[in-house]
Amino acid sequence: MNWGKIAGKNGSTGILRTIHNITFVRVAALSVVVIAFSATAMAQCGASLTAMAAAAASVRGQSQVSQSSVQNGSGAASENAVNPSIVGLWHIRFLVGDQTIQEAFQIWNTGGTEVHNPNVDPRTGSICLGAWKEAAPRTFKLTHRVWSYDASGNFLGTINLNETLVLGDRGNTHNGSFTLDFYDPLGNFMFEVPGSVIGERISPN
């Protein structure tokens, strides 16, 4: 009997089990922090982003989705794109893995500003503002900076939403990636929630 091979196999199994346990602990910790944020969020744009992060944590807790699988939205730009501009009205969906965690309407304005209206109760604050730039032909970067407060008016910190999008389907769709970065009131980074985003252009009839 080759005890070396058996030991090697058992060692590999132990390493995989340890990695799985570490991943589970990290997901569980992220879920606790995000749920705490969402439970105290008041009427503000930040409430929609904390809700999105909570939904992402729930999806990861159920399916143990790896970051490599959620950050798969870079996509290739369609070579036959007719409309190379992001300017206009879009219906978008944020995803973790293949599960939608939030949807929104976005309007990208000439001059580099953007308005974001997520599908949440408007009484909690449903309008966010952002800025964008064209990073490469048919590739665009968007950023939001959001103040976050609890229901008592205490400052919780800031939330940064960033997106990188690539136009496709003759300029009528886009896909890409997003990150939600959470910072405490002193500006210290706390955690990041990554995922993918897809969109369809809404055009006048």
In this predicted model, what pLDDT tens digit does every residue of 57-108 receive, in sequence order? 777 666 544 444 444 444 444 445 479 999 999 999 999 988 999 999 999 9
Residue 129 counted as domain residue: yes
Ordered alpha helix ranges (H), 41-95: 45-63, 67-70
- Give the count of domains, the chain: 1
| Residue 15, in any domain of the structure | no
Write out the residue range of the structural domain in which residue 166 sits.
24-202
Within a domain: 17: no
Within a domain: 11: no
pLDDT tens digits for range 12-45: 455 445 444 444 434 443 443 343 344 333 345 7
- 159's CB contacts (< 8 A; 6+ apart) are 46, 49, 50, 144, 146, 148, 180, 181, 182, 183
pTM comes to 0.67
